[in-house]
Structure 1
Amino acid sequence: MNRLSLPRHLARTLLGLALIGAGVSHLTTLRQDFQAQVPGWVPLDKDVVVLASGVVEIGLGAALLALPRQRVTVGWVVAAFFVAVLPGNISQYLTRTDAFGLNTDQARLTRLFFQPLLVLWALWSTGAWPKTGAKRP
């Protein structure tokens, strides 16, 4: 298996810790804010969606930290997760719902542009994309 460069390893570790922190906040202090992002068309209780996504985030963050041999696969799964939650961010913008201190249309719109960066972060930091980023041991 090819090893990651130090910057990619650090970025993967930081992303893992951030996902764990976000997941814990889903289950505790920011639960209501996350509920505000669940689109109305989702046929599940908003609290169930928030709790489940929090557990998934904790699991993904832990996988980034604890499964270095599967890091490429985990990177693709994390990227897919970031794509999967994008409708919540779009819904928050379209419904003009205040949460996370995003209380203007401009702030909510600006946040949408960060989601693709999270996808790229997951792929780059795990060596999932581009494949040329890993170095040989």
Structure 2
Amino acid sequence: MEHARAALRWLLALAYAYAGYRHLATPAPFLAITPPWVPQPAFVVAATGVAEIAGAAGLLFPAMRRTAGWALALYALCVWPANVHHAVHHIAIDGTTLGWGYHAPRLAAQPLIIWWALWTSGAIEWPFGRRHARERARRP
């Protein structure tokens, strides 16, 4: 199980590092989906890019791993409104409007992304920790 956790942690770190880079290098698509109630959207998009890169790096250092997991989980929760805004308002990115075939799975995956950050960082063991605890309790 630990090999799977480590592999998924590296995959998540790479995904967040790339997303963070994209937020900084090409902010326009992220600005387009930022809800209008967000103050200083350019600053927020840049800050989210920095947060993603910092979280990705934190996942790779054992002393920072759990903190990074909680931070990335909170981050994923906080950016969910931008994903909802993107879907509900049919916002085009580079001239392309994505349909509900993209948006529905993307919105539904957000809790999985939150769990992924928490589990791969070791912040939580659910659902695997409970099962292993029950198996250990049954052993003579």
TM-score range, shorter chain: 0.7 to 0.9
Query: Offset of 1:19 from its aligned partner?
Result: 0.7
Question: Match for residue 114 of structure 2?
Answer: 119
User: Does the CA-based 8 Å contact 1:79-1:120 persist in structure 2?
Assistant: yes
- Shift in alpha-carbon separation, 1:70–1:52, aligned structure 2, 3 A: closer
RCO comparison, higher one (Cα < 8 Å, 6+): 1
Which ranges in structure 2 are unaligned for 5 or more consecutive residues?
133-140
In 2 relative to 1, CA 129–103 (structure 1 residues): closer, same or farther, beyond 3 Å?
same
Tell me what 1:11 maps to.
8
Q: CA deviation at 1:26?
A: 0.7
Counterparts of 1:99 and 1:111 in 2: how far apart (Å)? 16
Say which is worse superposed, 67-76 or 18-27, in terms of deviation: 67-76
| Aligned equivalent of 2:93 | 99
2:56 to 45, 53, 61: 61
CA shift for structure 1 position 102: 5.2
CA distance in 2, matches of 1:77, 1:43: 21
- Please tell me the root mean square deviation across aligned C-alpha atoms, in Å: 2.2
Within a 5 Å distance, the mapping from 1:36-75 to structure 2 comes to 36-44=32-40, 46-65=41-60, 67-75=61-69
Q: SS state of the match for residue 93, structure 2? A: coil
Secondary structure class of the residue paired with 2:123: coil
Structure 1 residue matching 2:63: 3-state secondary structure: helix
1:23-77 deviations in Å (ceiling 9; x for gaps): 0011113x21111221011122x22221111111111111111x21332222111
Residue 83 of structure 1 deviates from its aligned partner by 0.5
Q: What one-letter code is carried by the residue in structure 1 that aligns with 2:99?
A: T
Q: Is the CA contact (8 Å cut-off) linking 1:20 and 1:57 kept in structure 2?
A: yes
- Name the structure with the higher helix share: 2
Mean Cα deviation higher: 102-111 or 68-77: 102-111
Q: How many residues matched?
A: 128
Identity %: 37
Q: What is the aligned partner in structure 1 of residue 30 from structure 2?
A: 34
Distance 1:121 1:102 in 2: 28
Which has the greater radius of gyration? 2
**Unmatched tracts of structure 1, length 5 or more:** none
Q: Distance in 2 between matches of 1:96 and 1:69?
A: 41
- Given candidates 90, 107, 130, the residue that maps to 2:125 is 130
Of 82, 88, 91, 1:88 maps to 82
